[in-house]
Each structure stands twice: as C-alpha cells, then as structure tokens.
Amino acid sequence: MADMIDAGELGPGKVFIYEGNLLSVVDIQHNKTAMAKMKHKIKAKNLRTGSIIEMMLFSGTKVELAYLDKKIMQFLYADDNFAYFMDNTTFDQIQIPKENLKWELQFLAPNSDFTITYYGTEILGVELPAKVTLTITDTDDNAVPGDTVNKATKDAVVETGYKLKVPMFVKNGTKIVIRTDTGEYDSRAA
C-alpha cells in the first residue's frame, strides 16, 4: 500500500503523486484564516516534464508519497536519438531519449559517472554535479589580451561540443571547470 500523507506534511524536496503527476516540492506556504480550512500553496516541479506548477491544496487532502531510486552509471555515448549509460556493477545498459537530456548532454563526457534517477522502472533523468571538468577542443590560442579591466573573454568549445566564454589565458587542451547550473566557466582544473 502506498504511503498517503496530508498535504500539510509536504515540504521542500518531498516527492509526491497528485492527479497522475510525479511532483517534487520546491516551496510551500501555509495559510490559515479564522473561518476556512488551512490552505497549502505549493510550488512543485513535474519530474516527467520539468515544468514548474503552482497549486493550492487544503488540509485533509491526501497525496501519495513517491520514493525515487538513484543509481550511479557511466555515460558511454550518444547517437542521433539516444544517450547510452552502463551500470558499473552489472554492466546492464540503458538508453535515454536525447530530447529528455538537452541541457545535460552538454556536460556529459564519455566514460564519466553520473547519477540516474528512477521512479520504479521509469527513468526520470540524469542528475548533474554542481561542476564538471571538461577539456577545451577549440579556441583561438592567438587571441591578444586587450581590456583586462573588464575581464576579457573569448569563445571556446569543449569536448562535448558545448560553446562558452573563457578567459583569454585558456588554450586548446586546457581542462576547465564549468558550472552546470549556468553553463559558465568557473575555473581552470587542477
């Protein structure tokens, strides 16, 4: 039997099922007036579509808690339609449609480990670390430093094909650290 809880017991990070949607609470506010039931204004992320929704539930409304599984898997490669991952212990392989990983694919270097999130047997996606280390494959090594007061930058491409701005001192073959939340250059890798 599924765990049912009152909507008032939800909090940030809790995952629940409501009207067939798999939702993760981003924010919740409770509001009680003298003559009405407690209202819970919930901001939640739909884990299947990625969209953020806002909803209002009343105390006494029951929702089903959902439990997610996570597994570390190695990214192997991507073709025209799918990204392929392998379980490092069982060597089982899975494929995830590329359209579900548009942002994540920019930071997935082959043979690197990533966390895959599941709900039962349904694959929800890839959790990116806060920062990834990738190698510069294309940048203008002959760029002349100019206005260094305003942090001069130049265009660069990393091994995954992702394009970003980097400082003038970065050369081809340099390993850099990129923030996965913004896609911006963070630092030179050690």
- Domain assignment of residue 167, given as a range: 131-188
- Out of 80, 97, 127, a domain closes at 127
- Out of 83, 99, 127, a domain closes at 127
Total domains in the chain come to 3
Residues 26 and 79 in one domain: no
pLDDT in the model for residue 34? 76
Residues 120 and 162 in one domain: no
Rounded Cα–Cα distance for residues 170 and 153 (Å):
9
Six-digit token pair at 137? 């494959």
Backbone φ and ψ of 150, nearest 5°? -100, 25
Six-digit token pair at 165? 């701005």
Residues 163 and 175 in one domain: yes
CATH classification at residue 181:
2.40.50.140
pLDDT in the model for residue 102? 86
> What averages of pLDDT result for each successive group of 10 residues across the chain (190 residues)?
82 90 91 83 89 90 92 93 93 90 90 92 89 92 62 89 91 93 90
pLDDT in the model for residue 56? 92
Residues 140 and 121 in one domain: no
pLDDT in the model for residue 153? 86
pLDDT in the model for residue 81? 93
CATH classification at residue 22:
2.30.30.30
- Out of 100, 127, 154, a domain closes at 127
Residues 84 and 115 in one domain: yes
pLDDT in the model for residue 162? 94
Cβ–Cβ contacts within 10 Å for residue 59, how many? 15
Residues 135 and 120 in one domain: no
Contact in structure between 13 and 67 (CB atoms under 8 Å): no
Strand partners for 45: 24, 52
